Amino acid sequence: MMYAVIKTGGKQYRVSQGDEIAVEKLPGNRGEEVIFDQVLMWATDQEIKLGTPVVEGVKVISEIVRQEKGPKIYVFRMKRRKGYRKKTGHRQMLTRVKIKEIVIN
C-alpha cells in the first residue's frame, strides 16, 4: 500500500490511490485534472521518504469530482451586561477531489 502526505490550502492530507478528499477551493471544473506537487512524504510497505520540506520528483494526480460548500459555521459574539450580541455564519467553499495515482520519478 502506497500513500503520500500532500499540502494544499495551508493544510496537510494523507492520501492513497482511490481516496476522495475535500480540500480548500481549487480553480477548475468537474472532470479536470489537478496535480499536487507539494508532497511532504510518501511511503510504501518497505520504504519511507521524507522531504525537506518537499520530496523531489513525486507528484499526486487527482481529478475534480465537484465544487461544494462545507457545513455552516456559526460565529457568536457577546459582551456581558452590555446588550451586545452578534451572530454571523460562514460556509467555506470546498473542492472534492479523487486521487487517481501517485507518480514517482
3-state DSSP assignment of residue 10: coil
Is the pLDDT assigned to residue 100 strictly greater than 90?
A: yes
Is the pLDDT assigned to residue 90 strictly greater than 90?
A: yes
One-character DSSP codes across 25-86:
--S--TT-EEEE--EEEEE-SS-EEE-SSS-TTEEEEEEEEEEEEEEEEEEEEEETTTTEEE
Is the pLDDT assigned to residue 105 strictly greater than 90?
A: no
Reported as a single tens digit per residue, the pLDDT across 9-64 is 999 999 999 999 999 999 999 999 999 999 999 999 999 999 999 999 999 999 99
Instruction: Match 475534480 to its residue by C-alpha cell.
Output: 64
The pTM for the full model equals 0.86
The domain tally of the chain equals 1
pLDDT at 85: 98
Cα distance between residue 54 and residue 49, in whole Å: 10
